[in-house]
Amino acid sequence: MEAACDSFIRYLATERGLSEAYQLSVRQSLDALAAWLKLKEVALKDIGTDELAAFLSQRKKEGLGASSLRITTVHLKIFFRWLAMKGKLEMDPAEPLLAPRADLHLPETLHAKELVQMLDSIDPSLPLGRRDLAILELFYSSGLRLSELCQLRLEMVDFEGGFLRITGKGNKTRVVRVGTKAREALNDYLNNERPSLVSKKTSSHIFLSVRGTQLSPDRVRQIVKERAKMAGIDQNVYPHLLRHSFATHLLEGGADLRVIQELLGHADISTTQIYTHVDRQRLKNIHKTFHPRG
């Protein structure tokens, strides 16, 4: 089992070109399976669908949620499909497995008024005010992931057209729009504050620390939380909350779901459809509040 896992991870890395994070996720699933098989004294060649189903059932009893079980099932299916393709197993025992439906967790969002309150509370004339305002404006204007914002470089910005060329999950590139307010904040930061942060070790990353280095994801999370607290917002505010708010407010404004999918960089429209549930819940609440027989 260990040798097969090692070979499969190498295949994911060299032939499929999948990220280290994905390789680690698969490795964790397969290590859990290997430990279970060792406990049950079952060899790799003797694994059947019943054994895999029993393993998944055990993981569920251990507290693994539906989303994590779904991911584990996918990992098992691609692993055993590869083993069968390589002739290491006569048949694919994972083929009949059905992945459980993921739990539907509606994303948290901020009300548009709260977002305006947070953005308006930042004074650009104060130290790092221009940088922090540009960060928050970009999150809300373009729906960027935290990693995408941290990796932004000067050469990725079309200042004249008002676009960003983003490399997101799976190394897929997409073009996203930068709104007027975000463009103004970004230009102000680049012209009037970033030059003072530049040091000898500075790269072309847009958002810099006081030491002139690229801002880390942890630091950006901290900036977002600090700015929300300073604006008097009690809700837990984090970068992905701004991304959710970006998508939800677009949908509420009448944007097409396919357009939102493209702007967010979702590979599958089903991922974007979560926002339709948010909008339906909003309509339900409005009806309940204002309709005489709601």
Q: Which residue bears the tokens 């505010």?
A: 237
User: Which one of the listed residues 59, 194, 243, 249 is annotated catalytic?
Assistant: 243
- Cβ contact 22:169 at 8 Å: no
Catalytic site includes residue 243 = yes
User: Which one of the listed residues 169, 181, 219, 221 is annotated catalytic?
Assistant: 169
Residue 167's DSSP bridge partners are 173
190: how many CB neighbours lie within 10 A of its CB?
17
Residue 177's DSSP bridge partners are 163
From residue 215, alpha-carbon distances to 142, 193, 209, 229, 286 in Å are 19, 15, 5, 20, 41
Residue 108 per-residue DSSP state: P
User: Which one of the listed residues 59, 77, 130, 145 is annotated catalytic?
Assistant: 145
Q: Which residue bears the tokens 């896992």?
A: 5
CA 32, CA 55: separation in Å to the nearest integer?
9
Catalytic site includes residue 140 = no
Catalytic site includes residue 169 = yes
User: Which one of the listed residues 70, 81, 240, 282 is annotated catalytic?
Assistant: 240
Token output for 269: 């429209």
Of the CA atoms within 13 Å of residue 81, those in its CB half-sphere come to 10
Catalytic site includes residue 11 = no
CA 253, CA 256: separation in Å to the nearest integer?
9
CA 173, CA 148: separation in Å to the nearest integer?
11
Catalytic site includes residue 275 = yes
User: Which one of the listed residues 194, 205, 227, 266 is annotated catalytic?
Assistant: 266
- Cβ contact 221:146 at 8 Å: yes
- Catalytic positions: 145, 169, 240, 243, 266, 275
